[in-house]
Amino acid sequence: MLKLPHNEVIPVLDFGSQYAQLIARRVREAGAFSVLVRPDITIEQLAEYNPKGLILSGGPASVYDEGAPRCDERLFELGVPVLGICYGMQVACQILGCEIKPAASREYGRAQIDVADSSDLLAGIPEHTTVWMSHGDQVAAVADELHVLASTPTCPFAAVRHAQRPFYGVQFHPEVTHTPHGIDLLHNFLYNVCRCTNTWRMTDFMQMQVERVREQVGDKHVICGLSGGVDSSVVAALLSKAIGKQLTCIFVDNGLLRKNERQLVETTFRDHFDIDLRVVDAAKDFLSDLAGITDPQEKRTRIGHRFIEVFKQAADDITDAEYLAQGTLYPDVIESGHGYSGAAANIKLHHNVGGLPEELGFKLIEPLRDLFKDEVRKLGEVLGLPENLVWRHPFPGPGLAVRVTGEITEGRLNILRDADEIVLEELTANHLYRSTSQVFAVLLAGVQSVGVMGDGRTYEHVCAIRAVETQDFMTADWARIPYDVLATMSNRIINEVRGINRVVYDISSKPPATIEWE
């Protein structure tokens, strides 16, 4: 029997839509638990969830194409409500005997729907409202059992309901913000149709995971690699609550950390949570490996190899450890093509513990694998982690080595740490930290510029400020930080940090640029 984080589960069958994760998020935000599953999951596997309802996502294929993804045609035998979205609607309608054809007029983008029936799925939604369409096919002939709920001038069956079965279909995407009343529609499906009770809470998830970890670990010992980032910190706090002294955390000081990073980790986990924290000071080894190296990929490779060696040696000293805890998140599970569908897991190792190789011989514990990033932050708050740690911006695994262009030296790292601290201080002071996704300083060590300080000529480093806004870090736009804040950052860096005489602002988006410089 599958162990799930809640007893009200809405599986989302993923037919390949770019919005599939967004559907799952919207369901959770509305107070029910959702999980993405393969579209060809069997009815027996679905039954193990004891679902309150099912959602069939959109997808890029056409239902009449050879090899188009299909679902188990016995789906409706579960007797629970089903909501089909776009391609999901077409698949379900085809199973129910409807004809699907290429639309005479394709719809992409905003469209106006006219609501004909607002009794259940469309309850409270205006008679005329905007939705987001993205389809080239549509239901061409509606079986007698299907009742039209809404239409557009070119899509007569924009929303339908089956007369006998608890099936609803919408040709548009209610999960995107471009459909203003889409959340209302999903809420209606969850509570008016599926009769969910709005009880999905992070405190319930926390307690469920505590019990799951205790059952899995028994009296054995667990190692957790701490990086100071959000994911590994939340894992450590959760495991500490679950198994206490059976947990040992390893924090590797590689000499490439932000200013006061080590002190923050030690204070939080050794003093506040009373965790057995082993701090390994390997800064000299890492810096020695990087001496004279300027190629970014070579830097990353050397850092990765040294980290594995240092971590393995530290883990060998913990003789009774059988488990390695990792901060694998739900997007990692999805990207790997796995979940609860019954397929064998082959999840990529998480960067928070350095991408440790399988030959270390530990069994894995991944208590965050059901959560998205924002949910991990909520869990961190529930566990009592400090706000400044829970809401920290991401920090790359190779640390400041990818924020110093050119050769890495202790002197250059110290210059960057001081500049970066000023950037974050001003960001926080102006209440911009939570409204930006990632902000940091970069030292252009291979680029020096002429300047004048006092009556003297200087020839020193250039510092770049990088600030981005993003939802998923796959794409990002540069953040519009107010000019006066940037001016203060620049003035402080040039006046307070010896070795920098020029500050520039990076206004590149991703793509084509990346967020990090190396």
245 is written with which tokens?
A: 């002294």
Beta-strand relationship, 54-56 and 82-85: parallel
Nearest to 172 by CA among 152, 144, 189: 152
Nearest to 518 by CA among 427, 403, 355: 403
Query: CB–CB of 8/200 below 8 Å?
Result: yes
Q: How far is CA 287 from the centre of its chain?
A: 32
What CA–CA distance (Å, rounded) separates 372 from 124?
30
302 is written with which tokens?
A: 């050397």
* Catalytic residue list: 86, 173, 175
Residue type, 95: I
* Cβ neighbours of residue 398 closer than 8 Å, sequence gap 6 or more: 256, 299, 300, 303, 304
Fill in the DSSP letter of residue 74: T
CA distance readout (Å), 7 to 1, 10, 39, 173, 202: 13, 10, 22, 27, 13
What CA–CA distance (Å, rounded) separates 54 from 11?
5
Q: How far is CA 77 from the centre of its chain?
A: 34
